[in-house]
Structure 1
Amino acid sequence: MFRRAPLPPPPPPADVYDWPDLESLLADRAAAMAELQRHGLSVARMLLLWSLGLGAALGWILVSLGLGHFEDRTADYITGLVELVLGVMVLVPAVIGVGFAVARDQAVRERLDAWAELAYDPENDHRLRAGARSAMWLGMSVALCVAGLVLALTGGGQPDSAGLGEVAYLVGIGVIALVIGVLGAIRAVLHQRWAGHVLSPAPERGRGGAHR
């Protein structure tokens, strides 16, 4: 079974700092923050998010096919029921996976904040801005949002003669693509906002505990 790599732990509380000097603290801080950033904006994370979206889309396609069978009085209801059950079995784990991905993103941001609060290290912090990767995340996510919105509007604008399964298929796939795109765009925007606020020079940010 696939297991995700664990996140770097948060820094110890201020009253139990055990770094012998500032250089040791900055070295651990840089290593932890670089690893956390890779967990947040890597290509692998984008592929994982999009894979969860594809899983949800596959599940919704099966659900739509099942709905189409129940709408057609001459269709095989058993086949429609099987498709509905299979669709739910694929869709629900994908949705849960997206929820876990969102929670993991929140944990990454919280630990980045905690490590950033220890000290200010301009020589290493500029590498954490990841402007190119953020732009890639944002560009591809916006493109996915546009595609999802077009599909959803196309499905919603179907004529009355269109079947329930067809409308549900287009609207559902569009909404899934839109949600995945929005999540990716939010991740990129939040990282750049974090970089702009947390990584900017702020002498008062340091707690002073590292110099003991």
Structure 2
Amino acid sequence: MSPRAPLPPPPPPAELRSWPDRDARTADRARALGELGRRLLGPGRLVAFLLVFGLLQLGWGLIGVLLVSLADPLDVFEVLFAVFSAALGTGAFVPGVWLTVRGLRRDRVVRERLVQWALLDRHGPTDARLRAPALSACWLVLSFVMCAAGLWAGFAVPAGTTRDDGGYGLVAYGMGVALILWTTGLTGLVKAVGHYRFAVRLTAPRPAGPDARSASSGPLPPG
């Protein structure tokens, strides 16, 4: 996502809205929801999510060279190599953490604006597209695989490590890998499930009643 392409602004307050008719309002709503949906779950956001995950794993892997090497006696060159590798790893891991936090904050802003535009009105075709079932399923599957791999690593590495086979350094490295997998997968799961549940509520039919005709053109009630 380029910083030169700002997010769609939130809808104007009720007292400042000047749409000439409902068609104009729903057209602007559709454009805003489409763009915000892409910023939240689109292919570009998914690629960025995976790249940041790879950066975290790369950084921790380089730091792990130092952790694992501590189990064996080292000569001067091995110590220098391990320290250099850890320095490179820190240089990759810290930006990865920063990008993760930045992405979470940006997703929260996107989500808030998407909800604001969605509550402005209802429009069946636009609201149905917002579900994005293929993208939601892709996020869900990838995130579930990460969580499962993290859970497996969190138990398998400590159980299969002995003092002569990596020792505490390998356990620390394996637990770090598991934590990155688990937390990254969990954020993806929460995003995919939360977005799909919201889209389903948005497209759910309203209860029939004497006010159903007038409510069909009004905003979606919160919650």
TM-score (normalizing by structure 1)? 0.88
Share of identical aligned residues, percent? 36
Question: Which residue of structure 1 lines up, in the alignment, with residue 29 of structure 2?
Answer: 29
Counterpart check, 1:189 vs 2:188: no
Tell whether the 8 Å contact from 1:68 to 1:80 is kept in structure 2 after alignment: no
Supply the AA of the counterpart residue of 1:35. E
Tell whether the 8 Å contact from 2:122 to 2:219 is kept in structure 1 after alignment: no
Question: Which residue of structure 1 lines up, in the alignment, with residue 125 of structure 2?
Answer: 123
Gaps spanning 5+ residues in structure 1: where?
Answer: none
Question: Which residue of structure 1 lines up, in the alignment, with residue 10 of structure 2?
Answer: 10
Tell whether the 8 Å contact from 2:70 to 2:169 is kept in structure 1 after alignment: no
Task: Map 1:1-212; keep pairs closer than 5 Å.
Answer: 3-4=2-3, 5-75=5-75, 76-157=78-159, 158-163=161-166, 164-201=168-205, 203=215, 206=218
SS at match of 1:73: coil
Query: More displaced, 110-119 or 150-159?
Result: 150-159
Query: More displaced, 68-77 or 124-133?
Result: 68-77
Taking the aligned partners of 1:122 and 1:19, their CA distance within structure 2 comes to: 20
Paired residues in the alignment total 207
Taking the aligned partners of 1:161 and 1:122, their CA distance within structure 2 comes to: 63
Taking the aligned partners of 1:54 and 1:188, their CA distance within structure 2 comes to: 20
Q: What do you get for the CA RMSD once the two structures are aligned? A: 2.2
Q: CA deviation at 1:124?
A: 2.0
Supply the AA of the counterpart residue of 1:181. G
Taking the aligned partners of 1:160 and 1:125, their CA distance within structure 2 comes to: 57
Taking the aligned partners of 1:200 and 1:40, their CA distance within structure 2 comes to: 21
Tell whether the 8 Å contact from 2:59 to 2:93 is kept in structure 1 after alignment: yes
Gaps spanning 5+ residues in structure 2: where?
Answer: 207-214
Q: CA deviation at 1:207?
A: 5.6
Tell whether the 8 Å contact from 1:46 to 1:184 is kept in structure 2 after alignment: no
Query: More displaced, 20-29 or 163-172?
Result: 163-172
Supply the AA of the counterpart residue of 2:48. L
Taking the aligned partners of 1:28 and 1:184, their CA distance within structure 2 comes to: 28
Distance 1:60 1:205, change over 3 A: farther
